[in-house]
Amino acid sequence: MQFLHSSPVGSQAAPEAPTPNGDACGANSQPTRAEASDAAPDLWTYSRDLLERSILFWDTLRQRADDLIEHERRGLPPLLDFRSETILDARQFAHPVNYVLLRIFAEDAPTITPSDEQKSPVLVIDPRAGHGPGIGGFKKDSEVGIALAEGYPVYFVSFFPEPCRGQTLADVLHALRHFVQAVAIRHAGRAPILYGNCQAGWAVTLLSADCSGLVGPAVLNGSPLSYWSGEAGVNPMRLAAGFNGGVWLAHLVADLGDGRFDGAWLAQNFENLKPEAQWEKYANLFTHIDRERERFLDFERWWGSFFFLSREEILAIVENLFIGNQLEDGRFRICEHCFADLRRIRNPLVIFASYGDNITPPHQALGWIPIVYRTTSELIQAGQRIAYLTNPHVGHLGIFVSGAVAQREHRAILASMPEIERLAPGLYEMKIEEGGASDNSSNLPFAVRFEPRQVEDLNFPKPDPAFERIRDFSETAEAIYKTFFSPFVQATSNPLTAEMAKWLHPMRARRYLFSPAFLPWLRGLPPLAKSIRDNRQPLAEDNPYLGGERKWISLVTSSIETARLNRDATLERMFAIMYGSAPPKKSDTYQRTT
């Protein structure tokens, strides 16, 4: 604002009375009549639109609750956007597990026999990290959709909500081995290409180490193998074990669940990791309710469906991977006399990681390579081929669900499979360049090339000794809990208390409670929302009040992000005080190769 004096300095005259276009201190501080008349319609239309969007927003949350309840009643089937048929049901194996092998068909695909197909089959394995199956193929632009479009026969490993009683991680790996064998037999002995998403990536790695020669190239998408790696202040999840005491807490939760571990706890950890992302999700729905409703509901149908793991599975995962970090050291015990040794892997590996992924950063996806193969010569002598590619910004879930990533990175990976299998032993970075066609697939809108890299150039910080102390403390705490407390907790837990704990979990309650089944007065929302949608006239983008709303949303986002950064920095300092750790220096963090 410009400040204009109404009288000369030193004048004794009284200040002039404010005029319609100014006041005693300055001009243009009050709107003119014309401006006020223009602002009134803007305010009225914004108020009407705000009310309509509010009703549509709450109706969307009501629809989400109804969808999740209906999905629960149907038994939580996999959310695949493709036809499928069951090939093997592992619940009928000698050591039963809750896994099933599906053959996937496109909606318009004719019936074909395996002998008619020339390409190697693709086997997509989704993670059991709290949610149900389907992330690899719940829409057309997905890993499954791209594989079908490229002409590959596609199989999918799904799983059921409830684990078989007492199923172990070794039982799961044996079932996956049977699946791989069955797929290979159906395709004249051609080893399938394995696609492992997130936690399924380490399962694929274990399978590759255990079944050398049986599996084809393995694609690891956002898959953690080096669990202690990460950057201070950026990847706080790696510190969680230091504050909850290790594996005993997972053991307690599984005991309270009558031998089952509720995956809703894992999903809650993901949401707490970056709370501003949750605020942005709902704010984006509210702001763009006309176009975001269906996409929000489709995603929430998967995100809000929580599956269980057996007590034996979760303890093996937490103890050996998250806290023990035993996979990269070759100390991961599969069964009594069998250990996973990553040096036994002979099938080519393709590793896809993102710098925007704060759950599985490149540190955890690639950090195991210089530990298993200390030099490039060792990698070459082992006859192994490893290709990696990175995305500069996409988040963890975007690696699997982003249509842009599916059309670019996943399409490039599958189209380049013949070239990957022909690579000489060594480490390569996969580069995708727009505006050209690669040699192996001229119909692609980009070029793909593989640039040799040195294992020595993967600069990661050495594991912090503090994590060793956490492992020791976890083993002690688990021994105490298992001996003195677990029998009592198991004796007081039963299916009724476990089911009550399931339905009262905050991740479920705050979704299901918006259903009229729980709040009957919400039954009036659907007809009201339908009436609004039928006569809806969205607000113009140039409305000044809409701009103010978005600025306020941005301000709240920044405030939550600042609080989260302060929280993470505080956790880093507390971790250093408790375990005598020092945050890694900037020079120790992962150096991106050029």
Torsion of CA 40, 45, 49, 52, to 10 degrees: 100
Pairing assessment for the beta strands 154-159 and 122-125 based on DSSP bridges: parallel
339: part of which helix (H) or strand (E)? Answer: strand 338-340
Cβ count within 10 A of residue 233: 13
> Within a 13 Å sphere around the CA of 439, how many CA atoms are in the beta-carbon half?
5
Amino acid sitting at position 571:
L
Map 439-475 to HEC letters: CCECCCCEEEEEEEECHHHCCCCCCCHHHHHHHHHHH
Q: Are 93 and 315 in contact (CB under 8 A)?
A: no
Cα 275 to Cα 9, 235, 299, 584, distances in angstroms: 55, 14, 18, 25
Taken in order 350, 417, 379, 451, is the CA torsion positive or negative? negative
DSSP calls for 522-556: GGGHHHHHHHHHHT--PPPTT-HHHHHHHHHHHHH
Best CA proximity match to 101, nearest among 171, 173, 175, 166: 175
- Take residue 301 and report the two structure tokens written for it: 């149908």
| Dist. CA 556–CA 574, nearest whole Å | 27
| Dist. CA 80–CA 155, nearest whole Å | 12
Residue with tokens 């706890």: 265
Amino acid sitting at position 402:
S
**Residues in the chain where the model's pLDDT stays below 70:** 1-39, 108-117, 212-213, 232-234, 336-337, 435-442, 463, 581-594
State phi, psi for 100 to the nearest 5 degrees: -145, 145
Map 373-427 to HEC letters: CCCHHHHHHCCCEEEEEEECCCCCCHHHHCHHHHHHHHHHHHHCHHHHHHCCCEE
Which residues are CB-neighbours of 352 under 8 A, at least 6 positions away? 219, 220, 221, 222, 365, 388, 389, 390, 391, 399, 409, 413
Best CA proximity match to 254, nearest among 359, 165, 127: 165
Instruction: Quote the pLDDT of residue 480.
Output: 95
Cβ count within 10 A of residue 234: 14
Which residues are CB-neighbours of 370 under 8 A, at least 6 positions away? 455, 456, 458, 460
Q: Which fold has domain 78-228+325-463?
A: Rossmann fold (3.40.50)
The per-residue b/e assignment along 174-201, b for 16 or more CB within 10 angstroms, e otherwise, is bbbeebbebbbebbeebbbbbbbbbbbb
Q: Where are the domains of the chain?
A: 78-228+325-463
Instruction: Quote the pLDDT of residue 37.
Output: 53
Best CA proximity match to 361, nearest among 350, 371, 374, 351: 351
Instruction: Quote the pLDDT of residue 465.
Output: 81
Amino acid sitting at position 541:
E
Best CA proximity match to 224, nearest among 235, 210, 209: 235
- Angle in degrees, CA 103, 352, 173, rounded to 5: 50
Instruction: Quote the pLDDT of residue 578.
Output: 83
Instruction: Quote the pLDDT of residue 138.
Output: 83
Q: Are 387 and 350 in contact (CB under 8 A)?
A: yes
Pairing assessment for the beta strands 260-262 and 308-310 based on DSSP bridges: antiparallel
Packed helices 275-287 and 289-303: angle between N→C axes, nearest 10 degrees:
140
- Take residue 113 and report the two structure tokens written for it: 């026999």
350: part of which helix (H) or strand (E)? Answer: strand 349-354
Instruction: Quote the pLDDT of residue 23.
Output: 45
- Take residue 463 and report the two structure tokens written for it: 């594991």
Q: Are 199 and 159 in contact (CB under 8 A)?
A: no
